[in-house]
A = this chain, B = another copy of it.
Amino acid sequence: MARWSEAKLMDYRLYLVTDDKIANNELYDIVRSGVKGGVTIVQLREKTADGQLFYEKAKILQSILKPLDIPLIINDRVDIALAVGAAGVHVGQDDLPCAVVRKIVPDDMVVGISVSNVEEAKLAQEQGANYVGIGSVFPTTSKSDADLLAPGMLEEIIAAIDIPAVAIGGIQLENIKMLKNRGLAGVSVVSAISKSKNPEKSARDLLQLFL
């Protein structure tokens, strides 16, 4: 059995990725509220913070999420994932390669990777990724460098791999229904929860519309 298959099964249904443009205290409130509404997994994404600040935020999120048994995934910085004992790490195509990450993390740490075509998705699976994030499925403003998926590509990728797939990019209450019954393990959102006036209600509504 492949070593990465030991990574525990995750509930990817409603995957919240944090918005690094939001102030810290507000961020923690949003996460707490989102989880109350049904968020099943949380990724801390920091694109500008120094290591220490990133680590401090990860520690606080871990202290909020661990008692609730909600997995914390760290974006990009494998060292910070190791330092806080996160459930997983998520890398992009410009970050440390998946095969390298797999070598330096414990067998039970989940490794996820962003993909936008079949080739990247197959390679991710080969290299031991536990899940892929596929996107952008819709236009987004949360991630400036995200390109929109080619038409039909979401289905092609899902058909090409066996590991769980999560859709990401511009997913909102208005369009989430389009992702229902497509073979996705979950949907990943940023602003649909982070910019909501009621993150708990938005999480509940998103989950209800997706399932």
Contacts and interface: CB of A to CB of B under 8 A. Distances in A.
Interface of A: 50-53, 55, 76-80, 82-83, 91, 93-97, 100-101, 103-104
Given A52-B94, A94-B52, A94-B53, A104 B82 contact: yes
B96 A55 contact: yes
Nearest to A96: B51
A98 B119 CA distance: 39
A80 B77 CA distance: 9
Contact of A91 (B51, B91, B94, B101): B51
Contacts of A93: 52
A174 B51 CA distance: 35
A64 B76 CA distance: 27
Closest 10 CB pairs of A and B: A78-B79, A51-B95, A50-B94, A79-B79, A51-B96, A82-B104, A83-B100, A52-B94, A55-B96, A83-B104
Nearest to A54: B96
A55 B94 contact: no
A106 to B, nearest CB: 11
Contact of A103 (B80, B83, B94, B104): B83
A133 to B, nearest CB: 16
A169 to B, nearest CB: 19
Nearest to A100: B83
5 contacts: A51-B91, A52-B94, A55-B96, A77-B77, A77-B79
A146 to B, nearest CB: 15
A51 to B, nearest CB: 4
Nearest to A56: B97
A97 B80 CA distance: 11
A94 B55 CA distance: 10
Contact of A52 (B50, B55, B77, B95): B95
Given A51-B91, A91-B51, A96 B76 contact: no
Nearest to A95: B51
